[in-house]
Structure formats: structure tokens, C-alpha cells
Amino acid sequence: MTRTVGIVIFPRFQLLDAAGPISAFEIAARFAGGAYDLHIMAAEPGAVASSSGVRMHAEAFDSHMDFDTLLIAGGDGVRDAAGNEATMAFVRHAAARARRVSSVCSGAFVLATAGLLDGKRATTHWNRSASFARAFPAIRLEPDKIYVRDGETWTSAGITAGIDMALAMIGDDLGEAIARQTAQQLVVHHRRPGGQSQFSALLELQGGRFEALLAWARENLAEPLTVEQLAEQAAMSPRNFARAFTAQSGVTPAKAVEQLRVEAARALLDSAPLCVEDVALEVGFGDPERMRRAFLRAFGLPPQALRRAAKAA
């Protein structure tokens, strides 16, 4: 069975918002015998310039084509796209006939403007969450999720989260074995569940002044990593450190340390023959219950459930 995937782009779209899912579907189709037929479309066909200036060729909108999956890219030009009558008319028409509707990053603004997210759970890039929530109060925004699925409506966070969402779709369509093969081909370490926080990406993006400190913390997770200990490593007073770190990263030092531990624990659960209790000690949680609560906050699932899912895949 071949599934037709329509990817909508527009002037100043984010290149990876489109190219990431395209690559995932393309590779999955190699493993599953032409499982996907991809169509890149825009209101004005031809070479469409992304925000980087790199162009992608697009077909004209075709109201007679039925899509299994409709995907809207995001990018700097998303507000103009949401105000483009031809784009909005096509999105509404195609969505009504598609099995699955989705967006990457700020592409959620297009779906929301079309009225396709009203009453549904959704997410978008963390940097756009506040303006999205103000503009669309009827949508149940989950701003800290990598991707959100509400029935057959899927929305994802910034840029690379579109790959995570596409891999989840592939797993849904073709099974987890094909999804894992695709992830390996993409050199994705592991497919992140949708409930995982965007916070990890936030740390990487906004590390800046504290990048070296975060690298040190990753190497010393078994230590207490108190505010006082981190401040000493950063050569600052605890009070100034806590204030400066929170202002730059948007999270407290304690939340940052918890997320670093969660990420390390998840990697160990996926790859090491350690029991949950030993993993908790290895990464500094100290006891399994504390780690379980942190996993529920980050992933929406306890460690044992995530380990079972990884083994099943």
C-alpha cells in the first residue's frame, strides 16, 4: 500500500521542517517497498525560497489529489502563509479528505488559523508558544512536548522534532521495526517519545555562558550537583549563579540537572544491562522512585515502560 504525503511549503519556510520528514518518509519507503509517495506543494509552484535562501521545488496545489497525510512546514513566513487565501483554502480542503493532518514547528499556526486544531491538544516551537496561546485560546496547547497526537491530528515542536514525529507516524503505519531501521539510517540515536520535554533542546540552544558547566555536569551526574556546587564550578556566588542561569536558560539549575540525569538514564536503559535501581544510582537520582517521578514529568511514562518499548522495537 502506498500512502500519499503532501508537504505544504511557502516563501521563507524552514528548510529542515520539510526536509527532515521528507527524508524519514523516503528512507522508510526504501525499507517498505514504496510505502510513501511524496508531493511538495505551494501556492506558487516552482522554486520556493526557504528562510536560508535555499530553494525547494514545489508542485501547484491540486484539489483533486487525496492525501493520506498532509504536513505543513513552519518557518519565518508562516504568518504570511496563514494569511494567504489560496494556501488556507487548499489546507482546509485537503485536510477534510486526508486521513492524517500534521504540522512541524510554527506550521501549527496554519492549522490553527484554518480552524483545524480547535478543541484539540497541540504543540509548537517553545519560542512561539506564548503568542500561539494568546492567538488561539480554543486550542489546548502543550508547550513543552516534542510532538502531540490528538486522534489523527499531529503537531510537533521545532525543526528536528519533525523527524521524531515522522518516525512515530512511520511506526504507526509500518511497524516499529521499520521505524527503528529508518532512525538508524538517519543516524538518530533513538526515537524520542512525543511526551519528552522540549527542554533538552532549550539547554543546547541557550547553553551559551554555561555550556562548559553543563558539559561538566554531564560528566559528574553521580555528584549531588547542588546550586552551591554548580556555582563554585562556575566561579560565581550561589545567588548570582541561580539568577543568571535561570535568566539565560529559562529554567532553574535544579530542573536542568534533573533533565541531564533523565537523558543519561534513558540512554542507559536503552543500551546497558543495568537494573533500574543501578541506573538511578549511576546518574545521581539516588533511588528509583525519584527517577520514576522525573521520567513521568519528562516522558509521561515510567522507566520500566520505556525500557519495555525499546526492547519490543
Pair 129, 17 in one domain = yes
Give the Cα separation of 126 and 302 in Å (integer): 24
pLDDT at 55 (0 to 100):
98
Pair 179, 203 in one domain = no
The answer to whether the CB of 68 falls within 8 A of the CB of 100 is: yes
Q: Does residue 66 form part of some domain?
A: yes
Pair 170, 227 in one domain = no
> Which residue among 154, 185, 216 closes a domain?
185
In the sheet with 3-8, reading across from the earlier edge strand, the strands are 46-49, 55-60, 36-42, 3-8, 69-72, 100-104, 153-156, 147-150
Pair 178, 76 in one domain = yes
Cell numbers for 13, please give them.
519556510
> Which residue among 185, 214, 230 closes a domain?
185
**Burial of residue 271 (number of CB atoms within 10 Å: 0-12, 13-18, 19+):** exposed
CATH code, domain carrying 299:
1.10.10.60
Angle at 192 between CA 146 and CA 297, to 5 degrees: 65
Q: In whole angstroms, what separates CA 11 from the centre of its chain? A: 23
The CA-based dihedral angle spanning residues 248, 203, 17, 72, taken in that order and rounded to the nearest 10 degrees: -70
**Active-site positions?**
105
The answer to whether the CB of 187 falls within 8 A of the CB of 146 is: no
Pair 172, 226 in one domain = no
One-letter identity of residue 25: F
pLDDT at 200 (0 to 100):
65
- DSSP-derived pairing of the beta strands 46-49 and 55-60: antiparallel
**Residue 111 lies in domain:** 3-185
Give the Cα separation of 224 and 98 in Å (integer): 51
Q: What DSSP designation does 6 have?
A: E
**Going residue by residue through the chain (313 aa), what tens digit of pLDDT does each one get?**
999 999 999 999 999 999 999 999 999 999 999 999 999 999 999 999 999 999 999 999 999 999 999 999 999 999 999 999 999 999 999 999 999 999 999 999 999 999 999 999 999 988 888 899 999 999 999 877 889 999 999 999 977 899 999 999 999 999 988 998 999 899 875 556 666 666 665 555 454 788 889 889 988 999 999 999 999 999 999 999 999 988 887 789 999 999 899 888 887 887 667 899 999 999 999 999 999 999 888 777 889 887 776 665 4
Pair 63, 177 in one domain = yes
| 69 three-class SS | strand
Q: Does residue 68 form part of some domain?
A: yes
pLDDT at 241 (0 to 100):
94
pLDDT at 111 (0 to 100):
98
> Which residue among 185, 217, 243 closes a domain?
185
The residues, any chain, with a CB within 8 Å of residue 205's CB and separated by 6 or more, are none
Residue appearing with cell numbers 477534510: 96
pLDDT at 160 (0 to 100):
87
> How many domains are there within the chain?
2
Q: Does residue 208 form part of some domain?
A: yes
